[in-house]
Amino acid sequence: MAVAQTESPGLSRFVLPVAGLIGLGACVAGILVLYDPQGGPNLLASIYEALGNTSGAIDLRNGSGDQVIAKLLLAVIALVVGVGGIWLLFVCVGGLVGLLQPKWRDRILPWVFVGPALALLAVFLLYPAAGTILRSFQDDKGLFTLANFAVMIEPEFTQILRNNAIWLIVGTGASVVLGLIFAWLFDRVRRESLAKTLVFLPLAISLVGASVIWGFVYAWQPAGQPQIGLLNAVVVGLGGKPIPWLTTSPINILCEIVIMIWLQTGFAMVVFSAAIKGVSGEIIEAARLDGASERQIFVRVIVPMIRGSIVTVSTTIAIVTLKIFDIVYVTTGGRFNDDVVANRMFHEIFQFFEDGRGAALATLLFIAVLPVMYINLRNFRRQQVEG
Amino acid sequence: MTTPAQPIARPTVRVAPWRPAFIRSLPLRLSVFAICFLWTLPTLGLLVTSVRDPRNITTSGWWTALLHPFEANQWTLSNYQTVIASDGMGNAFINSLIVTIPSVAIPITIAAFAAYAFAWIPFRGRGILFTIVVALLVVPIQMSLIPILQIYAAGNLYGSFLGIWLAHTGFGLPLAIFLLYNFMSQLPRDLFESAAIDGATHLQTFIRLVLPLSIPALGAMAIFQFLWVWNDLLVALVFLGPGAEVRVLPTALYQLIGSRGGSWHLLTAGAFITMVVPVVVFLLLQRAFVRGILAGSVKS
Amino acid sequence: MAKRLRATCALAGVVMLMVSACGSSSTSPSAASVAPSAASVAPSTAASVAPSTAASVAPSTAASVAPSTAASGAPPAAAVPTVPTGYTELDKALGADTPFKGKTVSIQTQWVGGEGNNFAASVADFAKATGINIQIDSIGSSHETVLKTRIEGGKPPDLAMLAQPTPVLSYAAKGKVIDVATFMDPKKLSAEHPATIGLVTQGSNIWGIPYKADVKSTIWYPIKAFEAKGYKVPTTWDELITLSDKIVADGSNPWCVSAGGPGDATGWQLTDWVEEVVLKTKGPAYYNDWISHKVTFQDPGIKEALDKYVGKIFFTPNYVFGTNTAIVPQDQKTTMDPMFDGDLASPKCWMQKIPTWYGPDFFPDQRATSQPSKYIVGTDVGIFPFPTIDPAQKNVEGSADTLMMLVDRPEVRAVAEFFATPQGLQKWIEAGSAISTNTSTPADWYAGAYKLKVASDIVNTAAAIGFDASDLMPGKVGAGTFWTQMDQWANNGGTNTDAVLKAIDDSWPSN
């Protein structure tokens, strides 16, 4: 950490940016290779030619030969250019800015750090979001209208709102609480890594896989047929009648939420686990010496200390539940009084070709998320003050 | 897997004098076991189904296979053979790796710089910008596809790996910045004060101090981004296109499964094959989550 | 997985079409007889098509049958049309100098798995003969999403296959679709696809080429078990009810009914039932008015279709296997499984109304193993036409897939034109699982395919053919409330007919 002062202020301050500029030049060349649709094969072909392997080079240029190697080469370049280039960019520009007067340096430096992220976000998310909001106030001819927001006065909309509220409260609450408890419990057992891997597993499963898995849990057959669904097998085993879990409202919403909890708890647990590891062992040890029970330590010491993580995870999962789509789409399509905003939006746009109404629903989603953002902003400010 | 030595004594081994440790920790062990069992049960169904004879899959519950595990003829690996041997699966696997690795590394690098600035460099508009970044989490991805594709069509990025890396970077940034910000902002302020006194620039502080300390958060974020990209179907279909050259694993699996029949035997085997890589990545990155990294580095 | 299913149902259920393809099979007098009936049902746009049909079908049928007949017995001829085909670019493409050799044409379809293979086989010979590289983008369940994104994002595939006419017209309204009438002879196109071209015709513009057809007025049953019990295939509604009662009296359940399940595709089978009954009780004019909402859902005729006919099947005790509460949750893939009990010898349910695209893909053994089913359609599992209700209304229901052209290049035109010829579907027909919309398709291609023969018989004895009404209604109703409300109706045992019909009417878009 004290290295900074040992560098000779004159030379190295200039060597670094200059070397960086050379690196940047290499990156630009790399990006050109990446941008060219035939970049990978052509580059490898040139290499082959340089090595004297002319036939291999010709094959490559004709779209055959070692295409896999060409692809791997492309990926390596991407990694070097992508990660290395960004580092160079930050280091060089940061270094150059460092040469400026402190007054200017302090003004410009933060923008160097957040600049690339903001630029990408502007293109990939902000611009489409703005377009969507704009579209929600337009009819098919592009004229201003409020008609799209008629979705709000339709009877099913209240139901959709109710469903999203259930998702938000039950889904977020359960995932966060369970994630927290799991992280705490697992932290105290010897086979922590195994336990965490098992709870984490659902995250690794693709949506297709998850839909099959839960198909085997909720599957329903008429009474008298063999039940291949786990839950109904249990119900029938206990002498009950099989229940069509996914088509019976309102149980179906809870069944779908269970799938999300199963997926998201792993996420919450991983983040909380990392945070709990960050809580100083000395503090915990001190509390323990004071005679606090493990539960008290958890509630009084650990939870307050990782409050930031809890807010973060809650926010993330709350947003996931607000725009929950795929689980509903895959299990029931929202057809059994279990529709949610994002699923309806998807249907309006891609099935009913009602782009304006879909955009209106997306706009309502943005609005719904404002309170969540407000809480975050407040939390952010508090941290700035306390921090 | 092995975990590095623990710098801090584990609470479980603290023995209350009047009861043996084993009994005392029994409720804990039992509840952990119960949680793991419950959470793994559905996945176990997937695993069992994927090695069952396809004829049994839709006629009896998967657990019935476990009741008489030694009837060898009910088990088969043919589902896996079918999936692995199908056309273009190897190519799809390589494509998936090529798409995924840069799509994880690039956004996390960019997000780390941004998160540091949001957490520790004061500048005008910081709060509002950060709120906008977090608010962008809510943008439904389906709304982004068409405008981005328009840009790609004009800029000749459609169907290129560069295009999909950028897309995954853009879509992954809000969560990455948000999580990394959360972690970095909780680092003790003293660290930064002493670094500033030492004359370190922000760049030096970030590289030498913040990055090493943020390894757990970086690891967690890398995993999430990896999973999202690895299992993604829609973004790949839209920006890479469905052509055989650039097909990724989920696309290849979908095309194998067919539109009508159940094909649950192939679905389950395919789902398990795609799971392997993310789980290995998770196990490797678990090292990042070990207690003591933070404390250890601060002391040194 | 459910997404895949949805796409399937979109393919099968959603579109509509009629089969005119088998018009020239041995049992039927001539293809021309189909045309008037089709035109009378299809939406009003089709009406103008009718007159030209009768005139021009006959010659073209004769012309294209000849070469393929000559080839029979010899090794299978390549599925490539004979020059002159009547289409400019297609003739060029098939010319000796193969001017389009090396060009690529992309086509996006929802067909994956077995259907994908059949489609690939259908274009293989043509690709070989012309040197055009036909790139098939089989998307499966995400087809509609990806297609819309690619079209509006400015990177459309050259051609796309859609199961519904409604989106074709929506894209056309946005100026995204090439009018094929600008380079193909509209008269020839209309004459050869008399029943289906009207779905994608607006004035002088033709926004797509009909490709593959399905008949929906079919009921599947176990042939040998029927014989063993002495059950006769019913031809009238009363016979159907008598048979159902008899099966109940014999201690079984006559009907396998499912609403689709799991996921997004739930409900279309129920709307098919209603459409079938409306066509068979009220006829084509009423049916068309219903599609355009001149006849509301609360009209007595629709209410009668639900309460008197569909409800009779669904809600009579012991009629439906698992009772009416099983209809909605039942996975459509497994609906007919109870029929296969005891190797089809002791069925637990005896009849399912499902379109002609159904088949061995869905039989329990093939579904599980992906190996060809041991049950043969025509020997083990049979199909009979949905019985007549009002003898004056011998109408049937159908559906069709449409090819839409999105990029205009000479080689794309050639491929589009190829799909307008019978050879564009030949290999798929010969595989026994597709019916062409093209009336000039040689009858012998269908030879030996039981299912296709049944379909053609149904079509040829039909007075009129109605296209799936829910596919022609606004998406919000046809793929929305009509489905969901029918689910609720089935779940409630038919006690809420009025409320259900009012809810559908209320959801009809006001503009």
* Secondary structure (DSSP) of C285-338: HHHHHHHTTSS-TTSHHHHHIIIIIIHHHHHSTTTBTT-GGGTTTS-TTTTTGG
Q: For residue C434, give the 3-state DSSP assignment.
A: coil
pLDDT confidence of residue B8? 44
How far apart (Å, rounded) are the C-alpha atoms in residues C262 and C1? 9
Nearest to C146 among B238, B255, B262 (CB): B238
pTM to 2 decimals?
A: 0.82
For C329-349, the DSSP string reads: TS-TTTTTGGGGTTTTTS-SE
CB contact under 8 A, C115 and B152: no
pLDDT band at A37 (very low <50, low <70, confident <90, very high): low
Helix and strand totals (H; E) in chain C: 22, 13
Give the A:C interface size as CB pairs under 8 Å.
Answer: 88
In a 10 Å sphere around its CB, with 0-12 CB exposed, 13-18 middle and 19+ buried, how is residue C457 labelled? middle
Query: Which pLDDT tens digit goes with each residue over A161-190?
Result: 899 999 999 999 999 999 999 988 888 887
pLDDT band at A308 (very low <50, low <70, confident <90, very high): confident
Task: State the nearest Cα–Cα gap between A329 and chain C, in angstroms.
Answer: 6
pLDDT confidence of residue A64? 65
CB contact under 8 A, B140 and A195: no
Which structure tokens are listed for B138? 């809510």
- Other beta carbons within 10 Å of A18: 11
Q: For residue C138, give the 3-state DSSP assignment.
A: strand
pLDDT confidence of residue B19? 58
Contacts of C366 in chain B (CB under 8 A): 261
**Helix, strand, coil: what percent of chain C each, to 5?**
50, 15, 35
C205-206 and C218-222 as β-strands: parallel, antiparallel, unpaired? Answer: unpaired
How far apart (Å, rounded) are the C-alpha atoms in residues C453 and C435? 10
How far apart (Å, rounded) are the C-alpha atoms in residues C399 and C468? 6
The mean pLDDT value for A65-73 works out to 73
How far apart (Å, rounded) are the C-alpha atoms in residues B271 and C1? 11
- Low-confidence winner among A1-5, A344-348, B259-263, C76-80 (lowest mean pLDDT): A1-5
CB contact under 8 A, C487 and A349: no
B-proximal residues of A, 44-73, CB under 8 Å: 68, 71-72
Question: C106 - beta bridge partners?
Answer: C135
Between residues C284 and A369, which one has the greater pLDDT? C284
Average pLDDT taken over every residue of chain A: 81
B-proximal residues of A, 224-253, CB under 8 Å: 226-230, 233
pLDDT confidence of residue C370? 67
pLDDT confidence of residue A386? 55
How far apart (Å, rounded) are the C-alpha atoms in residues C377 and C359? 7
Task: Report chain A residues touching chain C, CB-CB < 8 A.
Answer: 154, 208, 211-212, 215, 219-223, 225, 244, 246-248, 329-333, 335-336, 346-347, 349-354
Nearest to B185 among A186, A205, A387 (CB): A387
Between residues C353 and A17, which one has the greater pLDDT? C353
As for the ipTM of the complex, it is: 0.82
Query: Quick one: closest CA in B to A387, which residue?
Result: B189
How far apart (Å, rounded) are the C-alpha atoms in residues A132 and C61? 51
pLDDT confidence of residue B18? 54
Cα distances (angstroms) measured from residue B1 to each of A163, B259, B277: 42, 40, 16
pLDDT band at A330 (very low <50, low <70, confident <90, very high): confident
Contacts of A352 in chain C (CB under 8 A): 474-476, 479-480
Query: B58 in contact with C at a CB cutoff of 8 Å?
Result: yes
Instruction: List the subunits that have 3+ CB pairs under 8 angstroms with C.
Output: A, B
Closest listed residue to residue A170, CA positions, set A96, A254, A111: A254
CA C418 centroid distance within chain: 21
How far apart (Å, rounded) are the C-alpha atoms in residues C332 and C313? 18
Closest listed residue to residue C455, CA positions, set C360, C335, C358: C358
With a CB cutoff of 8 Å and minimum separation 6, the contacts of C15 are C162, C163, C164, C165, C214, C399, C400, C401, C402, C467, C468, C471
CB contact under 8 A, B8 and A197: no
Q: Which DSSP letter does residue A80 get? A: I
Nearest to A128 among B3, B143, B283 (CB): B143
Which structure tokens are listed for C315? 């809600």
pLDDT confidence of residue B269? 83
- Low-confidence winner among A57-71, A205-219, A314-328, C302-316 (lowest mean pLDDT): A57-71
Task: State the nearest Cα–Cα gap between B99 and chain C, in angstroms.
Answer: 19
Give percent of chain A with pLDDT exceeding 90: 11
CB contact under 8 A, C262 and A332: yes
Nearest to C145 among A220, A331, A350 (CB): A350
Query: Which pLDDT tens digit goes with each residue over A133-143?
Result: 888 898 878 88
Contacts of C365 in chain B (CB under 8 A): 55
CB contact under 8 A, B237 and C142: yes
Contacts of C322 in chain A (CB under 8 A): 221-223, 225
- End-to-end, the C-alpha distance of chain C in Å comes to 36
CB contact under 8 A, B242 and C112: no
Query: C480 in contact with B at a CB cutoff of 8 Å?
Result: no
Give the best residue of A190, A191, A277, A375 to mutate against chain B (max B CB count within 10 A).
A277
The mean pLDDT value for B47-75 works out to 78
pLDDT band at B227 (very low <50, low <70, confident <90, very high): confident
CB contact under 8 A, B261 and C137: no
pLDDT band at B288 (very low <50, low <70, confident <90, very high): low
Nearest to B146 among C152, C334, C361 (CB): C152
For C70-131, the DSSP string reads: HHBTBSPPPS-PPSP-S-HHHHHHTSTT-TTTT-EEEEEES--HHHHHHHHHHHHHHHHHH-
Would the pLDDT of A2 be above 60?
A: no
In a 10 Å sphere around its CB, with 0-12 CB exposed, 13-18 middle and 19+ buried, how is residue A276 labelled? buried
Contacts of A205 in chain C (CB under 8 A): none
CB contact under 8 A, B138 and A95: no
pLDDT band at A307 (very low <50, low <70, confident <90, very high): confident
Query: A333 in contact with B at a CB cutoff of 8 Å?
Result: no
- Low-confidence winner among A120-134, B165-179, B286-300, C292-306 (lowest mean pLDDT): B286-300
Query: A278 in contact with B at a CB cutoff of 8 Å?
Result: yes
Closest listed residue to residue B277, CA positions, set B17, B96, B9, B29: B96
pLDDT confidence of residue B136? 87
Query: Quick one: closest CA in A to C151, which residue?
Result: A350
Cα distances (angstroms) measured from residue B82 to each of B54, B276, C369: 12, 17, 11
B-proximal residues of A, 364-383, CB under 8 Å: 365-366, 369-370, 373, 376-377, 380-381, 383
How far apart (Å, rounded) are the C-alpha atoms in residues A152 and A140? 19
The one-digit pLDDT tens for each residue of chain C (511 residues) are 333 333 333 222 222 233 333 333 333 333 333 333 333 333 333 332 222 333 323 333 333 333 333 334 445 567 888 878 888 889 888 888 888 888 899 999 988 777 788 899 999 999 998 999 998 888 777 788 889 888 988 889 999 999 888 889 889 998 999 999 999 998 888 888 887 888 888 888 999 998 988 889 999 999 999 999 999 999 999 999 999 999 999 999 999 998 766 556 667 889 999 999 999 999 889 998 999 899 999 999 999 999 999 999 999 999 999 888 888 887 777 788 889 988 888 899 999 999 888 888 778 887 777 678 888 888 899 999 999 999 988 888 988 889 999 999 999 999 999 999 999 998 888 887 788 888 888 888 887 788 888 887 887 777 888 888 888 888 888 888 898 899 889 988 889 999 999 999 998 887 6
